Amino acid sequence: MKNILHRGLSVIMLSLGVCAAVYAQSKASIIVDADQGEVQISRHIYGHFSEHLGHCIYGGFYVGENSPIPNTKGVRNDVVEALKNIQIPNLRWPGGCFADEYHWRDGIGPKADRPKMINTHWGGVTEDNSFGTHDFLDMCELIGTEPYICGNVGSGTVEEMSKWVEYMTFDGESPMSKLRSENGREKPWKVQFLAVGNESWGCGGNMTPEAYADNYRRYQTFCRNYGNNQLLKVAGGANVDDYRWTEVIMQKVPASMMWGLSLHYYTHPGGWDNKGSATQFSTRQYAETMKRCLYMDELVTRHDAIMTKYDPEKRVALVVDEWGSWYDVEPGTNPGFLFQQNTMRDALIAASTLNIFHKHADRVRMANIAQIINVLQAVIFTDGDKMLLTPTYHIFDMYKIHQDATLLPSTVRSEKYKVDEFEMDQINASASVDKDGVIHVSVANLDLNKSVEVSVDIRGTKVKGIQNVQLLTSDKIGDFNSFDNPNKIQLADGSKKCKLKDGILTISMPAKSVVTVAVK
């Protein structure tokens, strides 16, 4: 009996010991080679996406000039200010799937005369075209961001796309520039980024890669560079791991005809058919989500390898122009509007994905999180005259210092975070140096329980001091900002969590947190 009791006690103590280990602090290390930077992290990796979908455009950006909500030409001032703060470098529009049904001429001229259409993809709602080309391009100027126009290949014509480019960018006398002037804009806009179709393998026309490659070559031929406006044309790329798509496009379209080739990948916790709730999820679902998020690394690596076969100089950019989390819509909301909450889990997805893009900065030179306001992994929510910033917004705020900085090669070592069969590195990180010589190190700790002490050895330079430390974390991984509690998750000063001694930076990171440290 005594023996049994003793053995029982040992088992309990062993279990307690295991628990203690689970909740203890772990250690990780990062070596940053500060004198080895070669590649620039394009600011365009920090791009966003706005589609005529749910309340992204209407209610999100656009409330109309007569709205009591403070606005400039119908665009909410609060949203413009928030987006200026995170320095969004480019904004994709008008879709997504919507783009391949959009006819730009329906969105110009007096608003009352604009034809209506059905938004067949997104809730079957009536689109009144009150937000069109002028509204979008003027809004981009207001925000200080570059427009990324997605042209209609699926149901549009070569002529339609060609005329749209002429309408937006021709600085001379022509039928389209005359029409633009008549509609109130004399000078052309600057439009660099042009996507030739969207998801042409699916909602954009269900094409084979061979058919799309031929179409791409034809459509892009008639999208001209007028005056100083040099188009950077993006060919529609693969869905997730459709490597054959990338292979065929790279084979059939010369680099001289495309600036970029796109890739779309969304993180669904349990796959497309099992997306789950944005806020109610188990530890296992969390781990599966993060594992799927980190899969972006493999996708980018493998698509890049195929591209490199045809384009060893890496002239063609990989443009991940749709990425982010995609869950079930919030209960009681229109299933076609794709509205989902945004938690600390999403902040970790954003930080980890941006770290992956940094790592591949020589090939990934543009990306667009989906979607900017009120849709999927949004950075902003609006509700009537109210607006809030999501945890994902705060990551874009923290990480904006990496825009156009030089990537510093980093070697990251950490323990594994493991839940059931889902195993991953506890931390992921990236580092860059900006034009003023400030080094920024960003680290995400994915472990839900363990804090981690990260020692960062910055080699090849003499670091004198810590300039700034920003921290994002929350009590629970499912925490989110709501209109009742809009600042539940917000950036905090993390300077107490950092030390610099003998050139080694030590960061004490709480479980489920993201930190960015600036040193010089």
List residues near ligand AHR by CB under 6 A: 51, 95-97, 198-199, 322, 370-371, 376
Least distance between ligand AHR and beta carbon 199 (Å): 5
> Which has the closest alpha carbon to 454: 492, 404, 413?
413
Least distance between ligand AHR and beta carbon 234 (Å): 13
User: Alpha helix locations (H) across 86-148?
Assistant: 133-143
Least distance between ligand AHR and beta carbon 324 (Å): 8
- Compute the chain's Rg from CA coordinates: 24
The 3-state DSSP class for residue 213 equals helix
Least distance between ligand AHR and beta carbon 383 (Å): 21
Angstrom distance (rounded) from CA 255 to CA 238: 17
If the CB atoms of residues 322 and 425 are measured against ligand AHR, the closer one turns out to be: 322
Instruction: Kindly report the number of other CB atoms within 10 A of residue 341's CB atom.
Output: 20
If the CB atoms of residues 281 and 326 are measured against ligand AHR, the closer one turns out to be: 326
If the CB atoms of residues 33 and 241 are measured against ligand AHR, the closer one turns out to be: 241
Residues contacting 467, CB < 8 A, separation 6+? 438, 518, 519, 520
Angstrom distance (rounded) from CA 206 to CA 234: 18
472: phi then psi, degrees, rounded to nearest 5: -125, 125
What CA dihedral angle connects 277, 444, 356 and 245, to 10 degrees? -10
First-to-last C-alpha distance (Å) of the chain: 65
If the CB atoms of residues 246 and 371 are measured against ligand AHR, the closer one turns out to be: 371
| Amino acid sitting at position 166 | E
If the CB atoms of residues 322 and 397 are measured against ligand AHR, the closer one turns out to be: 322
Residue nearest to ligand AHR (CB): 96
If the CB atoms of residues 195 and 431 are measured against ligand AHR, the closer one turns out to be: 195
Whether 199 sits among the annotated catalytic residues: the reply is: yes
If the CB atoms of residues 264 and 365 are measured against ligand AHR, the closer one turns out to be: 264
Least distance between ligand AHR and beta carbon 289 (Å): 18
Catalytic residue among 199, 298, 415, 423, which?
A: 199
Catalytic residue among 298, 322, 330, 453, which?
A: 322
Token match 């989110």: residue?
480
DSSP 8-state symbol, 98? G
Angstrom distance (rounded) from CA 119 to CA 56: 13
- Beta strand 406-408 pairing with 427-433: antiparallel
Burial of 165 by CB count in 10 Å (0-12 exposed, 13-18 middle, 19+ buried)? buried
Sign of the CA dihedral with 400 first, then 406, 412, and 418 last: positive
Least distance between ligand AHR and beta carbon 154 (Å): 11
Least distance between ligand AHR and beta carbon 194 (Å): 16
Active site residues: 199, 322
